[in-house]
Amino acid sequence: MDTHTEHSGAPLPAPVAVVRGAEGDSPVYIGRGLLARAGEIAAGAVRGRRALVVADTNVGPLHLAPLLASLRAAGFEAERHAIPAGEASKSLAELERLWGALHRAGITRTDLVVALGGGVTGDLAGFAAATWLRGVAAMQVPTSLLAFVDSSIGGKTAIDVPFGKNLVGAFHQPVAVVGDPDVLRTLPPRERGQGMAEAVKTACIRDADLLSFLRSVAGRPLSGEETERVVAGCARIKADVVNRDEREGGLRMILNFGHTVGHAVEKVLGYGAVPHGEAVSVGMVAAAKLGERLGETPAGTAEALAELLAAFSLPTRVADLPGGAACGPDALFAAMLSDKKKLGAKIHFVLLEGWGRAKSVPLDPAAVRGALPAVL
């Protein structure tokens, strides 16, 4: 059956990585010009021909038109749904509004939800897809660097609730991730930095070569080709980690490097007050210092890491963050205790064993509290 008669004629590029999820394969396509071919990819991934594209009020005006045109050219009846830009949209209220839009668009079990945007849109639309009719297909079309290198891949979806970030969600692998690096050209520099923090994280835990490459380009704007190399490299690493541990029973936890302190900072300052990547940046340096104190991380790692992050204009100390004075050891410790990474009586930290090597370590809360003043 040939459902893609409208495509440009050229064969689709091979995916740069494939997540082999319990519910099926989730290929990650990265390539310039792919936004215009998203419809073709979607048509090969689902049987239905209705799609609802979710985009926020910043991204919609920039990238929605070519995506809708591509879906329609591939035979989809495609509708759009707008959400307000910002972390506050990962809410139960926005989820309910989105379920309403899925109902009105007549999305059935064989149809498609498309998340066009960054981490917030991907999480909300992905969770709506995971829950609507007990699960319909989702396609992730990342538009932020953070979504390219991390959040669009691997099937984590969630909303925030008053007790914490990402506490309600589901694993729901997208039927495809379609990343067109051309969309990154419109990205404001501070937002680009958020993605670089996650790229540095990904390289630190798994790929010393990618880390060397990041060092070689730090401190200046990346060319299109360099950006593509970073996002494809991160996509491969992320897919590999998820393939070994889809449900975060063990290895996948290393993707949380920098996130124990990072999430605590976000919680104390209020979600959305500090960008996620900046909180993670500070958290990675703190985790490296902690690792050095515990003898797990080679001496000098924290300093070298801080230098690299600073070269990408990222903060490296809690005190550098706007309002960071509120993040004293007591406040952060209380936030950590309520975080979902506290499994049983322990607080889980991801520690670097060297460049490109990491492990998740359960630590006694008292030991963490004792070390906090020195590592912040």
Residues known to be catalytic:
134, 156, 198, 238, 248, 252, 256, 259, 263, 276
Whose Cβ is closer to ligand GLY: residue 214's or residue 234's? 234
CB of 144 to ligand GLY, least distance (A): 14
- Pick from 319, 325, 333, 328: which is nearest to 264 by CA? 333
CB of 235 to ligand GLY, least distance (A): 12
- Indicate the residue whose CB is closest to ligand GLY: 255
Residues that bind ligand GLY (CB under 6 A): 150, 154, 156, 252, 255
Whose Cβ is closer to ligand GLY: residue 58's or residue 360's? 360
Whose Cβ is closer to ligand GLY: residue 239's or residue 309's? 239
Three-class secondary structure of residue 250 per DSSP: coil
Q: Rounding to the nearest 10 degrees, give the CA dihedral for residues 139, 21, 235, 4.
A: -40
CB of 60 to ligand GLY, least distance (A): 25
Three-class secondary structure of residue 178 per DSSP: strand
Three-class secondary structure of residue 349 per DSSP: strand
Whose Cβ is closer to ligand GLY: residue 103's or residue 247's? 247
Whose Cβ is closer to ligand GLY: residue 150's or residue 191's? 150
Contact in structure between 152 and 109 (CB atoms under 8 Å): no
CB of 198 to ligand GLY, least distance (A): 8
Please, what's the b/e burial string for 321-353 (b: 16 or more CB within 10 A of its CB; e: otherwise)?
beebeebebeebbebbeebebbeeeebbbbbbe
CB of 165 to ligand GLY, least distance (A): 12
Dihedral (CA of 8, 9, 14, 19) sign:
positive
Nearest 5°: phi and psi at 69? -60, -40
The CA distances from residue 126 to 18, 130, 167, in Å, are 18, 6, 15
What number of other Cβ atoms are within 10 A of residue 162's Cβ?
7
CB of 81 to ligand GLY, least distance (A): 24
Whose Cβ is closer to ligand GLY: residue 76's or residue 171's? 171
The CA distances from residue 234 to 151, 219, 231, 257, in Å, are 11, 19, 5, 14
